[in-house]
Amino acid sequence: MSEQEGRAGDELTRHLLELGVLTPEWAKVFRAVPRSLFLPDLFWAYDTSTGRSEPVARDDDPAGWARAAYENIPLITQWDDGQHAGTQPGDKPTSSASMPSVVASMLCDLDVSDGMRVLEVGTGTGWNAGLLAHRLGGADVVSVEIDPAVAARASGALARAGVAPLVVEGDGRDGWAPGAPYDRLIVTAGVRVIPPRWLEQTRPGGLILAPWGTHYTHQDGLVRLTVGEDGRAAGPFLRMVEFMKLRDQRLDWNQFVGHVKEFPGDADVSSTALTAADVGGRYDTADFVAGLCVPDCAHVVNQGDSDEPGDAKAWFLDIRSRSWAAVVFTPGAADATVHQSGTRRLWDEVEHALTWWIDRGRPEYDRFGLTVARDGGTTPWLDDPSNILPFAGA
């Protein structure tokens, strides 16, 4: 590691301490297991505000590479499940070194102590597994990665960093039974369906920390579940995050091609007094809550290519049928125009959910939580597991 990387690493650790996302105990581990050791010579720096990714190549710009390695940003390390080559960004990011502040806060949320056994799902670069292995000892940390090339790279980086968790190439949905029971299970990919194996392999009283969400939005609510004696698990959402999803749990947007044949086509037309702001946006609790309440619905907000009135449209798409809804928000108009088509009245469902949430004073996401049954079925609640959200399928 170069001197510049060492200085940049110290600066990042100080920054994370100042942000309050790192404890002094974990700060020591961050200093001992430097992020740059886990990064490939070419990665893409991801700008979370614009969604753009810029290639950073060590050979072309060693100083820029070292700087980016220790910025508090996610770094994409693989596109399109490894099918993409070249320096330009691919279509879909499929592996990364997560944002350091997210890594730090999740490790603190995991609340580990000496002697605990931890399973990580989503090895990626191996940095998080390396941090855990330094803290707990390699013999007590297992990390599962689905992509063989990614798993092999991570194993090499871990060996170079002098830490030795067990890296298993496999589907993390199965956990890793030979190492069970675990005291902690940490998932570093977005989850839409919680696999029952995770509950089976975590000991009663143990914790599962996972970015969980619905297909309504790409964002995830980081949920911390405590596994009970009965094999179920429950716990609160801690904060909003956004992870690339488990391989088989990605939303396939191609399924909606041809979904909306014509606009407005065969749709019924009505109106709504809710505004574009009520529908919410990225990282808004409104988005998250609508997703909890309206099952099997994806949505996308299209701001249009111009500032012309009427251009902002919110689309709602049923992932199991061809039902859809679109709402056109015209600046200055009292009401927005609603188009709905198919057997499900998707906007009616979303409006009902948002109205319920607004009427309760717009409770923030951290007042919500989740109960997970032994078969993986999820029940969201507000404030207390007994206060189940009053929506069919929620």
Ligand X SMILES: C[S@@+](CC[C@H](N)C(=O)[O-])C[C@H]1O[C@@H](n2cnc3c(N)ncnc32)[C@H](O)[C@@H]1O
Which one of the spans 63-71, 88-96, 276-284, 310-318 is the region binding ligand X (CB under 6 A)? 88-96
Q: How far is Cα 155 from Cα 144, in angstroms, rounded to an integer?
A: 11
Q: How far is Cα 114 from Cα 137, in angstroms, rounded to an integer?
A: 9
The smaller minimum CB distance to ligand X, of residues 111 and 308, is found at 111
Q: Which of 127, 212, 329, 381 binds ligand X (CB under 6 A)?
A: 127
- Shortest distance (Å) from residue 47 CB to ligand X: 16
Q: How far is Cα 77 from Cα 94, in angstroms, rounded to an integer?
A: 8
Q: How far is Cα 155 from Cα 148, in angstroms, rounded to an integer?
A: 11
Q: How far is Cα 220 from Cα 242, in angstroms, rounded to an integer?
A: 5
Residue-wise DSSP of 146-205? S-HHHHHHHHHHHHHHT--PEEEES-GGG--GGGPSEEEEEE-SBBSS--HHHHHHEEEE
Which one of the spans 26-34, 117-125, 332-340, 373-381 is the region binding ligand X (CB under 6 A)? 117-125
For the question of residue 53 being annotated catalytic, the response is no
CA 190 to chain centre: 4
Between residue 212 and residue 251, which ones bind ligand X under the rule CB under 6 A?
243-244, 246-247
- Shortest distance (Å) from residue 150 CB to ligand X: 5
Q: Which of 116, 189, 191, 260 binds ligand X (CB under 6 A)?
A: 189
Q: CB of 350 within 8 A of CB of 316?
A: yes
Active-site pick, 95, 96, 98, 341 = 98
Size of the site for ligand X (CB under 6 A): 25
Q: How far is Cα 10 from Cα 369, in angstroms, rounded to an integer?
A: 36
- Shortest distance (Å) from residue 379 CB to ligand X: 24
The smaller minimum CB distance to ligand X, of residues 123 and 341, is found at 123
The full 3-state SS of 13-45, as one line of letters, equals HHHHHHHCCCCHHHHHHHHHCCHHHHCCCEEEE
- How many helices (H) and strands (E) are present in the chain, helices listed first? 10, 18
- Shortest distance (Å) from residue 222 CB to ligand X: 13
Between residue 162 and residue 181, which ones bind ligand X under the rule CB under 6 A?
171-173
- Shortest distance (Å) from residue 99 CB to ligand X: 10
Q: Beta strand 324-329 with 166-169: parallel, antiparallel or unpaired?
A: unpaired
Q: Which of 13, 96, 201, 341 binds ligand X (CB under 6 A)?
A: 96
The smaller minimum CB distance to ligand X, of residues 10 and 174, is found at 174
Q: How far is Cα 130 from Cα 208, in angstroms, rounded to an integer?
A: 19
Note whether 36 binds ligand X by CB under 6 A. no
Query: What secondary structure letter does DSSP report for 126?
Result: S
Which one of the spans 94-102, 158-166, 308-316, 347-355 is the region binding ligand X (CB under 6 A)? 94-102
Note whether 97 binds ligand X by CB under 6 A. yes
Q: Which of 125, 202, 219, 371 binds ligand X (CB under 6 A)?
A: 125
The smaller minimum CB distance to ligand X, of residues 8 and 141, is found at 141
Note whether 122 binds ligand X by CB under 6 A. yes
Q: Which residue is nearest to ligand X (CB)?
A: 124
The smaller minimum CB distance to ligand X, of residues 241 and 328, is found at 241
Taking the CA atoms of 211, 213, 217 and 222 in sequence, report the sign of the dihedral they define.
negative
Q: How far is Cα 167 from Cα 35, in angstroms, rounded to an integer?
A: 18
- Shortest distance (Å) from residue 144 CB to ligand X: 5
Q: How far is Cα 315 from Cα 20, in angstroms, rounded to an integer?
A: 38
Query: Tokens at residue 226, please?
Result: 């405590």
- Shortest distance (Å) from residue 56 CB to ligand X: 16
Q: Which of 29, 45, 106, 121 binds ligand X (CB under 6 A)?
A: 121
Catalytic residues: 98
- Interface residues with ligand X (CB under 6 A) are 94-98, 121-122, 124-125, 127-128, 144-147, 150, 171-173, 188-189, 243-244, 246-247
